């Protein structure tokens, strides 16, 4: 059975407002950088990932409450934008601990850091070698459902 468009589109809105995963009322979810190569698969867990540990790599809390959801007009994918904090999802190397360090991706974690909600690989790994270098993720989007083939 193929769900009709209205039902399919409601999935992104419901997930974006779900306080158990993407929209906690307090203790916002965090984005953390990942320092070792990993295979992006649905069964990943926090323990499967090696989080960045350079000076300045502390995971960044996003915004609490409902996230933004919408439909990509080109692909038909449902997109949930993980709302960023003031300053965005931006890490700056502030010392020389554990350098050089290569960053392969990032993860959306619950506030405690014990639950993996989503993960992504970077288009290309980024190697950090000195103080002052920056990784800025810009807008972080989560693709929920692709439009079915018609």
Residue 86 lies in a domain: yes
Residue 109 lies in a domain: yes
Identify the CA nearest to 145 among candidates 29, 1, 38, 16: 16
pTM score of the predicted model: 0.92
- The token pair at 17 is 């407002």
Convert 20-65 into a string of H (helix), E (strand) and C (coil): CCCCCCCCCCEEEEECCCCCCCCCCCHHHCCECCCCCCCCEECCCC
Q: Specify the residue for token string 């996230």.
A: 67
Residue 112 lies in a domain: yes
Asked if 18 contacts 110 with a C-beta cutoff of 8 angstroms, the reply is: no
What tens digit of pLDDT does each residue of 1-60 get? 777 878 878 888 999 999 999 999 999 999 999 999 999 998 999 999 999 999 999 999
Q: How many domains does the chain have?
A: 1
Longest dimension (CA), the chain: 56
Residue 125 lies in a domain: yes
Residue 148 lies in a domain: no
Residue 90 lies in a domain: yes
State the pLDDT at residue 27: 96
Q: 73 is in which domain, residue-wise?
A: 5-143
Residue 44 lies in a domain: yes
């Amino acid at each position: 059975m193929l769900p009709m468009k209205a039902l399919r589109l409601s999935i992104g809105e419901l997930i974006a407002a779900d306080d158990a995963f993407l929209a906690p009322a307090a203790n916002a979810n965090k984005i953390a950088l990942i320092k070792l190569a990993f295979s992006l698969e649905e069964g990943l867990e926090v323990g499967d990932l090696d989080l960045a540990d350079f000076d300045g790599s502390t995971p960044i809390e996003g915004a609490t409450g409902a996230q933004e959801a919408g439909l990509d007009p080109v692909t038909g994918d449902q997109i949930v934008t993980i709302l960023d904090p003031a300053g965005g999802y931006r890490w700056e190397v502030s010392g020389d601990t554990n350098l050089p360090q290569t960053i392969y991706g990032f993860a959306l974690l619950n506030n405690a850091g014990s639950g993996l909600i989503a993960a992504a690989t970077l288009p290309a790994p980024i190697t950090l070698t000195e103080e002052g270098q920056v990784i800025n993720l810009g807008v972080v989007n989560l693709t929920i459902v692709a439009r079915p083939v018609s």
